[in-house]
Structure formats: C-alpha cells, structure tokens
Structure 1
Amino acid sequence: MAPTARTRTVAATGAVVALVATLAACGAGAGDDRHPEHRSFALHGRTLTVDSDDSALELVVAGSARTDTVEVTRWFQGHVVVGGDPRVTWAMKDDRLTLRMKCSGMIADCSAKHRIVVPSGVAVNVVDGDGSVRANGFAAALNIRTSDGSVRVTDSSGPLDLRSGDGSISALDVDSRRVRARTEDGSVRLGLGVVPDLVESRSGDGSLTIELPHDTYRVTTGSDDGSVRVSVPRDPASSHRVSAHTGDGSITVRTRTAK
C-alpha cells in the first residue's frame, strides 16, 4: 500500500507543478477578454469617486453632449485551481463606483481592466489598491491614488493631485495651474503647457523631470543622491512656485521646447 500511496502523491505533485508552469507561461491578461461587459451608472453629483482594489483603470471624458451617467466597460480574465471561482463586481452608491475582484486559491491568476467614461465637468477621485491609472481630457480636478502602479495623465487642465506608492507618475501636455505628484518608488515627469501657480513633485527613489513654459519661477530642489539641473529663469519673489525633491535620483527643471 505504501508504494501506491507514494506514487499517487508524486503524481499529484507533478500535476500541480504542471499547472503552475502552464499558468506561468499563459498568465491571465484582461486584454485577452474578447467579450467585455458594459454597464451604465447614474451620477447625481459633480464628483465621482472610483474605489478599486485590483484593476488597471482608464478614465476619459464623455463627448460634448450633456450626460449624467458614467459608462463602464470591463475586461476580465481569471484562472483558479484549488479555490473558488474568480469573479468581479461593480456597484455605484452615493456617486462612489466600487470595483472589486475576487481571485484566491492555491493557484490563482486573474487580471481586470476598466474603462470609465465620465461626464464633462465632473471632478474625479481615484483610489486603486493595485493597478495602473490612465486619465485623459479632464478639465475638472483629478485626485489619483494607487498603492502599486503607474499614473499617467494627458491633455488635462484641472488641478492634479497624483500619488503612487510604487510606480512612475507622468503628466504630459497638461494645462493645469496646480500640480502635485508624489511617488515612493518611481520617476516623475511633468510637462506643462501653461505657466503654473504651483508645482510640487517628490520621489523617494527616482528621477524628476519638469518642463515649463518660459517665465520666471521660484524654484526649490533637493536630492540626497543625484545631480540637480535647473535651467529655467529663477526669481525668489516669483508667484510661480516649483519644488522638486528626491531621495535618490537626478532632478531636471527646464524650459519647455516650443512645438
């Protein structure tokens, strides 16, 4: 009986190893979902909060037509062995869109992505536990927090407050007057098309690059380990304040090249 039991154990172990290898070679990718789901949620106020635990997020602004709905498209792929079936949920309550993914087991591999179309003029607060965040075309305020993932904002003009626990931050081709960007581990790159009132950038470990329109600025910088290059005109009395600080990395503050 002992040899038989051992053979079964070895066979089971081999099967688990084969499954792990298969999942590693063919990891779940939300982009592989050829049949994404779509849903509309009513929005009663002028601020939307997106609360996500584990998903890549893409936020865009709806067309010029007036709308009071948030349109969400969801892609999802998941595989679980020795565990419950993976699933994703979405719900709106008090203008808070909650996105959740359940994926647990001895062997689990899941991936989710959401594209969120927001009515024009609506401010957005994002709290994402694990996943990148992309936002484009916002004239209202954007407040984005992700614990693990990059943040990228383009073609926006509202105030920006961007933070990542572990990931790079970029805000390019933006006309925002107030920009705050902070990451614990990653680079920060900011490219502004208008003279800002305030730019604050900080990284625990990563380089900082800030490109500004031609003007005079009150600039403060600090790097514990890295070069600092400031080529914009400086004036300690300027009302246009720029600060850049990093624990480990270079700092560049320069005049933006005209297109």
Structure 2
Amino acid sequence: MTVRSRRPRARGMRVLVGVGTMGVVVGMVAACGASAEDDSDPDQRSFALPGRTLTVDSDDSALEVVVSDDVKDRNVRVTRWFDGRTVMGESPKVTWNMDKDRLTFRVKCSGVISNCSAKHRVVVPRDVALTILNKDGKVTATGLREPLKVRTADGSVTVQDARGPLDLSSVDGSVRAVDVTSKRISATSRDGSVRLELAAAPDRVEVRSKDGSVNVALPVTKSGGDGGAASYRVDSETVDGGSDISVPRDTRSPHHVSVRSVDGSVTVRSAN
C-alpha cells in the first residue's frame, strides 16, 4: 500500500516539473524575439527570368528590391535571411519558387508560441517592369527605371530614386517616395501617411489617403538651368483635416496634382 501511494505522488511531481519546464521554454521563446538580422549565413539563389516583367509575391517577410549593376544580367538574384522558433508546433519553414515571371516567398511558422522573422533582398534586371505583392512586411525599392506597382498590407512602402511610373498602395502602412523623377505617380494609403518628395516636375500625381496625412514636395525650379519656375494645377480635397497648398498654381499647367484625404491633413509644398 505504501508503494502504491508513493507512485502516484511521484508521477504527479514529474507532471508538475514538466509543466514548469514548458512554461520556462514558452517564456524564453516569447521573450527572445526572432530577428532575420541575426542570420549570419543567409541563403542565396538565382532564378532565370523569361521576359521583362516580374511579380514578387511575399507573405510575412521584409522585402528589399534593387537593380542589378550588370546591364547584361537577366537573372533574378535573391538573398534570404531567416530566424525562427516554435513551441508545440511544426518546425518553421521558408520556401521560394519561380513560376514563369512570378517569384513567390512563403514563411510557415505556427505553434502554441511561434516567433519568426524573414527578409529577402531581390536584385532584378534593369529593364524589368515590377509588381510587388506583400503582406505583413515592409517593402523598400531603390533605383528602378521601369514601371513599379506595389500592394502591401500591414507594411510600409518606401521607394527611392525611381524613374518609371509608380502605382503604390498600402493598408495599415505608410507610403513614401523620395528623390523620384517619375512622370506619373499614384499613391494610396489607408491607416497610414503618404509622403512624396519629387526631384522633377511630374505630368500627374494622384494621392488618396484615409486616416493619414499627405505631404507632397514638388520642384518649383525647372531643370536645365534656365531659371524658369514650374507651376502646378492642384486639385485638393480634405474631410476632417487641414490643407496647406504653397506651390505656384496655374489652372492651365501640364503638371496636375490631385489629392484627396479623409481624416488627415494635406500639404503640397516646394521641394527647392
């Protein structure tokens, strides 16, 4: 009888120790946030691109897109950083796949506690028209010369030194374009600000924002050193937000700027 009474108590103690140990493990995973920057040995891969269009489709990853320095390079080159851990779930998994002109990145990270972080750097040929579809991660694109279309959810968009037409949209994230010479720009944001800083007078800029401010900086000195001034046909409308338009205005100007904002201020100002 004594032996029998001791065994249940011993098993109970082992269960309690197991639960305590699991609690410590869960706490450690929750406290130690995963960071792709901690990956000191990133994976690399090259994908052949059959044409001059590319769609990058990504979930749960930060994206950095740049243009290749080699004008003859027709491949898409990817570097991937990843760090992840789970408790009581499948091992984290990251995949990449190229199907014709669509490059897909996926991150699988699930469990009672899961903590994963991924980042992809994509180097594209110089003459590629690019579409980026991203969810749960910021997007940065630099140096693109051809049309760029970006759609994000739960992530910001930053474009630098672009020349081709821009079509940028974000839900729950800001949109920013800096030092761009694009002639046509469309920027839409919901629950995030829009900031455009243009280095050349555009033909048309169209901005739509809900629950976020809009700030557009336009050059008012024409390029070429002739000392002339650029003026703009500005069409602005705000709901529950102030408006400050300080660039030279002309209803006959070929440079058209259209801004609509709900629950956010609008500023259209000089960039120089």
Q: What TM-score do the two structures reach when normalised by structure 1?
A: 0.94
Cα distance in 2, alignment partners of residues 129 and 155 from structure 1: 24
Q: Residue 148 of structure 1 aligns with which residue?
A: 154
Residue 176 of structure 2: SS of its match in structure 1?
strand
Match of 1:66 among 72, 89, 96: 72
Q: Which amino acid aligns with 1:66?
A: K
Residue 186 of structure 1: SS of its match in structure 2?
coil
Match of 2:169 among 163, 166, 169: 163
Cα distance in 1, alignment partners of residues 18 and 208 from structure 2: 50
* Amino-acid identity (%): 53
Match of 2:269 among 237, 243, 254: 254
Q: Which has the larger displacement, 20-29 or 51-60?
A: 20-29
Q: How does 1:106-121 map to 2 (within 5 A)?
A: 106-121=112-127
Q: Residue 221 of structure 1 aligns with which residue?
A: 236
Match of 2:249 among 228, 234, 237: 234
Q: Which has the larger displacement, 13-22 or 182-191?
A: 13-22
Match of 1:189 among 195, 201, 213: 195
Cα distance in 1, alignment partners of residues 15 and 131 from structure 2: 51
Residue 44 of structure 1: SS of its match in structure 2?
coil
Q: Residue 39 of structure 2 aligns with which residue?
A: 33
The Cα offsets for residues 41-69 of structure 1, whole Å up to 9 and x where unpaired, read as 00010001001121100000001431110
Deviation >4 Å, runs of 4+: 1-13
Q: Residue 133 of structure 1 aligns with which residue?
A: 139
**Greater radius of gyration (CA):** 2
Q: Is the 8 A contact 2:161 2:179 kept in 1?
A: yes
Cα distance in 2, alignment partners of residues 64 and 188 from structure 1: 33
Instruction: Tell me how many residue pairs correspond in the alignment.
Output: 257
Q: Residue 103 of structure 1 aligns with which residue?
A: 109
Cα distance in 2, alignment partners of residues 205 and 9 from structure 1: 51
Residue 264 of structure 2: SS of its match in structure 1?
coil
Q: Residue 82 of structure 1 aligns with which residue?
A: 88
The Cα offsets for residues 212-237 of structure 1, whole Å up to 9 and x where unpaired, read as 01122121222222210000112223
Q: Which has the larger displacement, 216-225 or 248-257?
A: 216-225
Q: What TM-score do the two structures reach when normalised by structure 2?
A: 0.90
Residue 20 of structure 2: SS of its match in structure 1?
helix
Q: Is the 8 A contact 2:26 2:87 kept in 1?
A: no
- Residue 92 in structure 1 maps to residue 107 in structure 2: no
CA RMSD after TM alignment: 1.6
Cα distance in 2, alignment partners of residues 203 and 10 from structure 1: 54
Change (3 A) 1:234 1:67: same
For structure 2, the residue ranges without an aligned partner over 5 or more in a row are 221-229
What's the CA shift for 1:12?
4.3
What's the CA shift for 1:13?
4.2
